[in-house]
Amino acid sequence: MALLILLLLLFSPICVFSQTVQESGSGLVRPSQQLSLTCTVSGFELTSYYMHWIRQAPGKGLEWIGVIYTTGGTAYTDSLKSRITITRDTSKKQVYLQMTNMQTADTGVYYCARASHYNKLMRRLYNILYLHKGKYKTTRFINKC
């Protein structure tokens, strides 16, 4: 157990408060038009963190739209996957959301959000713990800054 705690301390991400995420794009889109949003980041690399798009309709809770992984692969919510595309340009430090055939039901505030952990470190920690499978009880570990 002491080894597990030591590993968590050694590989725990450090919070850096100079990291920013800023969305920009169309303020108003008419029905059947396309929405194009840009998320510009600073203080970290897009190849190290998952970037999510989330939206909130008026008077409702947050709804996950999709994610672009460190590898550039993507995953989308089933209800929107035929209409959305998430891409990125790592050299510009930008993540893009495009949504086609906008409907009044798509009205809301759209957010981009960075995953709260550094994926390379988490992968490394997972590999270390996996090698000791059966010796230690592993739990889900998320560092929230």
Spell out the domain ranges in the chain. Answer: 18-131
Alpha carbons 71 and 77: distance in angstroms, whole number: 19
Q: Looking at residue 136, what is its pLDDT?
A: 39
Q: Looking at residue 81, what is its pLDDT?
A: 93
Alpha carbons 8 and 49: distance in angstroms, whole number: 19
pTM for the complete prediction?
0.68
Q: Where are the beta strands (DSSP E) in 45-142?
A: 51-56, 62-68, 74-76, 84-89, 94-99, 109-114
Q: Looking at residue 121, what is its pLDDT?
A: 56
Alpha carbons 3 and 54: distance in angstroms, whole number: 37
pLDDT in tens, 15-44: 334 566 665 666 678 888 999 999 999 888
The parts of the chain modelled with pLDDT lower than 50 are: 1-17, 130, 132-145
Query: How many alpha carbons fall within 13 Å on the CB side of residue 32?
Result: 0
Does the domain spanning 18-131 belong to CATH 2.40.110.10?
no
Q: Looking at residue 99, what is its pLDDT?
A: 95
Contact 125, 8 (CB under 8 A): yes
